[in-house]
């Protein structure tokens, strides 16, 4: 969906997100920079084990998004929808993740 600019991708915060390139991705949520950096070795290991596995990473901040964008085509990035059930449902309906991992540092 383009550069990690928070304002230009505002729809993602409301659960209106582009379809992922791969089906049933592993969803990793990394709030900000620290969690995003901590997620990198996990992402690389997941891709080593299964190169065809789609991975989507959500962040809440643009600085976290910038870290994830450095991974290039290994993953797709989206902004985490805000904490309203209808926003989360929209995201889940579109993305249809098979697993979720929440990073905490």
- pLDDT band for 7, please (50, 70, 90 cuts): confident
Contact of 81 with 13, CB cutoff 8 Å: yes
Contact of 52 with 24, CB cutoff 8 Å: no
The yes-or-no answer on residue 76 being catalytic is no
For residue 52, give the CATH number of its domain.
3.40.50.11720
22-56 per-position pLDDT tens digit: 999 999 999 999 999 999 999 999 999 999 999 99
Residue 63: both structure tokens together: 């600085």
pLDDT higher than 60, residue 4: no
Instruction: Give domain status of residue 67, yes or no.
Output: yes
Instruction: Give domain status of residue 57, yes or no.
Output: yes
* Residue 101, CA distances (Å) to 9, 52, 70 in order: 23, 18, 20
Within 8 A by CB and 6+ apart from 49, the residues are: none
63-81 per-position pLDDT tens digit: 999 999 999 999 999 999 9
Question: What's the whole-model pTM score?
Answer: 0.91
Residue 73: both structure tokens together: 């085509």
Instruction: Give domain status of residue 4, yes or no.
Output: no
The helix (run of H) or strand (run of E) holding residue 36 is helix 33-49
Within 8 A by CB and 6+ apart from 38, the residues are: 30, 103, 105
Output the pLDDT for position 8.
80
State the total domains in the chain.
1
Q: Which of 12, 35, 76, 104 is catalytic?
A: 35
């Amino acid at each position: 969906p383009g550069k990690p600019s928070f304002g230009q991708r505002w729809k993602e915060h409301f659960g209106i997100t582009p379809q992922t390139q791969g089906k049933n991705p592993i969803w990793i949520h990394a709030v900000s920079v620290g969690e995003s950096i901590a997620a990198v070795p996990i992402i690389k290991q997941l891709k080593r084990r299964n190169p065809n596995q789609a991975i989507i990473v959500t962040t809440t901040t643009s600085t976290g998004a910038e870290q994830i964008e450095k991974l290039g085509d290994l993953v797709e990035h989206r902004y985490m929808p805000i904490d309203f059930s209808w926003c989360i449902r929209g995201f889940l309906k579109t993305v249809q993740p098979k697993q979720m991992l929440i990073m905490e540092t």
